[in-house]
Structure 1
Amino acid sequence: MYYIIILYTTEQAITNKRVVFKNGLIARKTEEMNLNRVETVEVEQSILGRIFGYGNVKLTGTGSSFVIFKFVEDPLEVRKSITEALSE
Protein backbone atom coordinates (compact mmCIF):
# COMPACT_ATOMS: atom_id res chain seq x y z
CA MET A 1 0.00 0.00 0.00
CA TYR A 2 2.86 2.37 0.86
CA TYR A 3 4.45 1.97 -2.57
CA ILE A 4 1.15 2.57 -4.34
CA ILE A 5 0.77 5.89 -2.52
CA ILE A 6 4.32 6.87 -3.46
CA LEU A 7 3.66 5.90 -7.08
CA TYR A 8 0.54 8.06 -7.34
CA THR A 9 2.01 11.05 -5.50
CA THR A 10 5.23 11.29 -7.53
CA GLU A 11 5.68 13.43 -10.63
CA GLN A 12 8.78 13.31 -12.82
CA ALA A 13 9.16 15.53 -15.87
CA ILE A 14 11.71 16.68 -18.39
CA THR A 15 11.00 19.89 -20.28
CA ASN A 16 13.08 21.72 -22.85
CA LYS A 17 14.52 23.89 -20.04
CA ARG A 18 14.61 21.82 -16.84
CA VAL A 19 14.06 18.52 -15.08
CA VAL A 20 11.50 18.37 -12.28
CA PHE A 21 10.90 15.78 -9.55
CA LYS A 22 7.98 16.19 -7.12
CA ASN A 23 6.73 13.78 -4.49
CA GLY A 24 4.60 13.74 -1.38
CA LEU A 25 0.99 13.47 -0.36
CA ILE A 26 0.68 15.94 2.52
CA ALA A 27 4.20 17.36 2.68
CA ARG A 28 5.52 18.10 -0.81
CA LYS A 29 9.15 17.99 -1.95
CA THR A 30 10.14 19.50 -5.29
CA GLU A 31 13.55 19.26 -6.94
CA GLU A 32 14.35 21.15 -10.13
CA MET A 33 17.50 21.49 -12.20
CA ASN A 34 18.08 23.56 -15.31
CA LEU A 35 19.12 21.42 -18.26
CA ASN A 36 22.12 23.64 -18.92
CA ARG A 37 23.39 22.71 -15.41
CA VAL A 38 23.34 18.93 -16.01
CA GLU A 39 26.83 17.43 -16.21
CA THR A 40 26.20 13.67 -16.17
CA VAL A 41 23.28 11.31 -16.74
CA GLU A 42 23.55 7.87 -15.11
CA VAL A 43 21.29 4.83 -15.34
CA GLU A 44 21.04 2.36 -12.46
CA GLN A 45 19.27 -0.96 -13.06
CA SER A 46 19.01 -4.02 -10.88
CA ILE A 47 18.67 -7.52 -12.35
CA LEU A 48 14.88 -7.29 -12.02
CA GLY A 49 15.00 -3.83 -13.55
CA ARG A 50 16.81 -5.18 -16.60
CA ILE A 51 14.35 -8.04 -16.95
CA PHE A 52 11.24 -5.88 -16.57
CA GLY A 53 12.60 -2.73 -18.24
CA TYR A 54 12.76 -0.19 -15.40
CA GLY A 55 15.46 1.62 -13.47
CA ASN A 56 16.65 4.88 -11.95
CA VAL A 57 18.04 7.83 -13.88
CA LYS A 58 20.39 10.10 -11.92
CA LEU A 59 21.15 13.60 -13.20
CA THR A 60 24.17 15.24 -11.62
CA GLY A 61 24.48 19.00 -11.93
CA THR A 62 27.18 21.51 -11.35
CA GLY A 63 28.41 21.46 -7.79
CA SER A 64 26.95 18.64 -5.74
CA SER A 65 23.32 18.86 -6.83
CA PHE A 66 21.50 15.88 -8.29
CA VAL A 67 18.00 14.66 -9.16
CA ILE A 68 17.04 10.98 -9.26
CA PHE A 69 14.08 9.73 -11.26
CA LYS A 70 13.11 6.43 -9.64
CA PHE A 71 11.47 3.39 -11.24
CA VAL A 72 11.47 4.89 -14.74
CA GLU A 73 10.17 2.75 -17.58
CA ASP A 74 12.91 2.24 -20.22
CA PRO A 75 15.64 4.29 -18.47
CA LEU A 76 18.07 3.95 -21.39
CA GLU A 77 15.59 5.71 -23.67
CA VAL A 78 15.10 8.43 -21.03
CA ARG A 79 18.88 8.92 -20.83
CA LYS A 80 19.02 9.15 -24.62
CA SER A 81 16.26 11.78 -24.66
CA ILE A 82 18.03 13.84 -22.00
CA THR A 83 21.40 13.73 -23.74
CA GLU A 84 19.73 14.76 -27.01
CA ALA A 85 18.05 17.68 -25.24
CA LEU A 86 21.41 18.67 -23.74
CA SER A 87 23.11 18.74 -27.15
CA GLU A 88 20.51 21.10 -28.64
Structure 2
Amino acid sequence: MKPNTACACPHWAVMLPGAFCIVVAIAVYASTANTLAGSICLLAGTPALIRGGIQLATARISLDSQRIVISSGLFSRSSVEIRHEEVATFDCYQSVLGRLLGYGVIGITTRGSNRYLTPPIADHRALAAHLNNCRSQVQ
Protein backbone atom coordinates (compact mmCIF):
# COMPACT_ATOMS: atom_id res chain seq x y z
CA MET A 1 0.00 0.00 0.00
CA LYS A 2 1.28 3.49 -0.83
CA PRO A 3 2.22 5.73 2.11
CA ASN A 4 -0.72 8.10 1.67
CA THR A 5 -3.45 5.48 1.20
CA ALA A 6 -5.99 3.85 3.46
CA CYS A 7 -8.37 0.95 3.06
CA ALA A 8 -11.30 -0.11 5.20
CA CYS A 9 -13.58 -3.12 5.22
CA PRO A 10 -17.02 -3.50 6.80
CA HIS A 11 -17.26 -4.28 10.49
CA TRP A 12 -18.40 -7.76 11.48
CA ALA A 13 -21.57 -6.19 12.90
CA VAL A 14 -23.13 -6.31 9.42
CA MET A 15 -23.81 -9.98 10.25
CA LEU A 16 -25.79 -9.18 13.43
CA PRO A 17 -29.36 -8.85 12.03
CA GLY A 18 -29.23 -12.24 10.35
CA ALA A 19 -27.45 -13.90 13.26
CA PHE A 20 -30.01 -12.50 15.69
CA CYS A 21 -32.93 -13.87 13.66
CA ILE A 22 -31.33 -17.31 13.45
CA VAL A 23 -30.65 -17.38 17.22
CA VAL A 24 -34.28 -16.41 17.85
CA ALA A 25 -35.41 -19.17 15.46
CA ILE A 26 -33.30 -21.75 17.31
CA ALA A 27 -34.66 -20.54 20.66
CA VAL A 28 -38.25 -20.73 19.41
CA TYR A 29 -37.70 -24.23 18.00
CA ALA A 30 -36.10 -25.39 21.26
CA SER A 31 -38.59 -23.86 23.69
CA THR A 32 -41.99 -24.30 22.05
CA ALA A 33 -43.85 -26.48 19.68
CA ASN A 34 -44.62 -23.44 17.53
CA THR A 35 -42.62 -24.32 14.44
CA LEU A 36 -44.32 -21.62 12.34
CA ALA A 37 -42.79 -18.77 14.35
CA GLY A 38 -39.38 -20.45 14.27
CA SER A 39 -39.66 -21.01 10.52
CA ILE A 40 -40.55 -17.36 9.94
CA CYS A 41 -37.52 -16.22 11.96
CA LEU A 42 -35.31 -18.69 10.09
CA LEU A 43 -36.65 -17.55 6.72
CA ALA A 44 -36.04 -13.90 7.66
CA GLY A 45 -32.60 -14.52 9.16
CA THR A 46 -30.99 -16.67 6.50
CA PRO A 47 -31.09 -14.09 3.66
CA ALA A 48 -30.01 -11.35 6.07
CA LEU A 49 -27.06 -13.46 7.22
CA ILE A 50 -26.08 -14.24 3.62
CA ARG A 51 -26.37 -10.55 2.67
CA GLY A 52 -24.19 -9.56 5.63
CA GLY A 53 -21.60 -12.17 4.70
CA ILE A 54 -21.46 -10.98 1.10
CA GLN A 55 -21.13 -7.37 2.26
CA LEU A 56 -18.39 -8.36 4.71
CA ALA A 57 -16.49 -10.25 2.01
CA THR A 58 -16.83 -7.84 -0.92
CA ALA A 59 -17.28 -4.23 0.26
CA ARG A 60 -14.17 -2.02 0.32
CA ILE A 61 -13.48 1.65 0.95
CA SER A 62 -10.17 2.82 -0.50
CA LEU A 63 -8.67 6.23 -0.03
CA ASP A 64 -5.60 7.73 -1.67
CA SER A 65 -4.28 11.23 -2.26
CA GLN A 66 -6.58 11.75 -5.26
CA ARG A 67 -9.87 9.97 -4.65
CA ILE A 68 -12.18 7.83 -2.52
CA VAL A 69 -13.42 4.54 -3.98
CA ILE A 70 -16.41 2.76 -2.42
CA SER A 71 -17.02 -0.64 -4.00
CA SER A 72 -19.25 -3.58 -3.21
CA GLY A 73 -21.02 -6.51 -4.82
CA LEU A 74 -20.45 -10.16 -5.52
CA PHE A 75 -22.05 -10.84 -8.89
CA SER A 76 -22.77 -7.30 -10.06
CA ARG A 77 -19.97 -5.05 -8.85
CA SER A 78 -20.86 -1.47 -7.91
CA SER A 79 -18.11 1.10 -7.53
CA VAL A 80 -18.22 4.84 -6.83
CA GLU A 81 -15.15 7.02 -7.30
CA ILE A 82 -15.17 10.47 -5.71
CA ARG A 83 -12.32 12.90 -6.29
CA HIS A 84 -11.28 14.89 -3.20
CA GLU A 85 -12.02 18.17 -5.00
CA GLU A 86 -15.67 17.11 -5.36
CA VAL A 87 -16.20 16.38 -1.64
CA ALA A 88 -18.23 19.17 -0.05
CA THR A 89 -18.66 17.65 3.42
CA PHE A 90 -18.32 14.39 5.24
CA ASP A 91 -19.92 13.32 8.49
CA CYS A 92 -19.35 10.48 10.92
CA TYR A 93 -22.37 8.62 12.27
CA GLN A 94 -22.31 6.20 15.16
CA SER A 95 -25.31 4.55 16.79
CA VAL A 96 -25.43 3.33 20.38
CA LEU A 97 -24.69 -0.20 19.19
CA GLY A 98 -21.91 1.20 17.02
CA ARG A 99 -20.36 2.88 20.05
CA LEU A 100 -20.53 -0.37 22.01
CA LEU A 101 -19.07 -2.51 19.23
CA GLY A 102 -16.68 0.06 17.74
CA TYR A 103 -18.05 0.82 14.29
CA GLY A 104 -19.56 3.75 12.44
CA VAL A 105 -20.63 5.08 9.06
CA ILE A 106 -19.13 7.94 7.07
CA GLY A 107 -21.51 10.06 4.98
CA ILE A 108 -19.88 11.86 2.05
CA THR A 109 -21.67 14.73 0.29
CA THR A 110 -20.30 15.96 -3.03
CA ARG A 111 -20.61 19.41 -4.56
CA GLY A 112 -23.33 18.07 -6.84
CA SER A 113 -25.38 17.25 -3.71
CA ASN A 114 -24.93 13.51 -4.13
CA ARG A 115 -24.78 11.62 -0.84
CA TYR A 116 -22.83 8.42 -0.32
CA LEU A 117 -22.79 6.31 2.83
CA THR A 118 -20.06 3.81 3.57
CA PRO A 119 -20.97 0.45 5.05
CA PRO A 120 -20.45 0.22 8.82
CA ILE A 121 -16.67 0.19 9.30
CA ALA A 122 -14.40 -0.31 12.28
CA ASP A 123 -12.36 2.71 13.31
CA HIS A 124 -14.32 5.06 11.08
CA ARG A 125 -12.87 8.10 12.82
CA ALA A 126 -9.33 7.19 11.69
CA LEU A 127 -10.54 6.88 8.10
CA ALA A 128 -12.34 10.24 8.42
CA ALA A 129 -9.16 11.85 9.77
CA HIS A 130 -7.21 10.40 6.83
CA LEU A 131 -9.88 11.75 4.46
CA ASN A 132 -9.62 15.18 6.05
CA ASN A 133 -5.81 15.05 5.76
CA CYS A 134 -6.01 14.12 2.05
CA ARG A 135 -8.56 16.86 1.38
CA SER A 136 -6.39 19.50 3.05
CA GLN A 137 -3.39 18.46 0.92
CA VAL A 138 -5.44 18.84 -2.28
CA GLN A 139 -6.77 22.31 -1.39
Secondary structure, counterpart of 2:119 in structure 1:
strand
- TM-score under structure 1 normalisation? 0.91
The structure with the largest alpha-carbon Rg is: 2
| Alignment partner of 1:19 out of 68, 79, 94 | 68
Higher fraction of helix: 2
Deviation at 1:2, TM superposition (A): 2.2
Cα distance in 1 for partners of 2:104, 2:125 equals: 9
Query: Which deviates more from structure 2 when the two are superposed, residues 66-75 or residues 39-48?
Result: 66-75
- Report the Cα offset of residue 31 of structure 1: 0.8
List, as ranges, runs of 4+ consecutive aligned residues in structure 1 with deviation greater than 3 Å. Answer: none
Report percent identity of matched pairs: 27
Q: CA deviation at 1:6?
A: 1.4
The one-letter code matched in structure 2 to 1:57 is I
TM-score by length of 2: 0.60
Cα RMSD of the aligned pairs, angstroms, is 1.1
**Letter in structure 2 aligned against 1:51:** L
For residue 11 of structure 1, what is the amino acid of its counterpart? R
- The 5 Å alignment of 1:43-82 reads 43-82=92-131
Structure 2: give runs of 5+ residues left out of the alignment: 1-49
How many residues matched?
A: 88
Q: Deviations over 1:21-43 (max 9, x none)?
A: 11111111111110111111101
Deviation at 1:83, TM superposition (A): 0.8
In terms of fraction of residues, the more strand-rich structure is: 1
Mark the runs of 5 or more structure 1 residues left unpaired by the alignment.
Answer: none
Q: What's the offset of the Cα at 1:67?
A: 2.4
Report what 2:55 is aligned to: 6
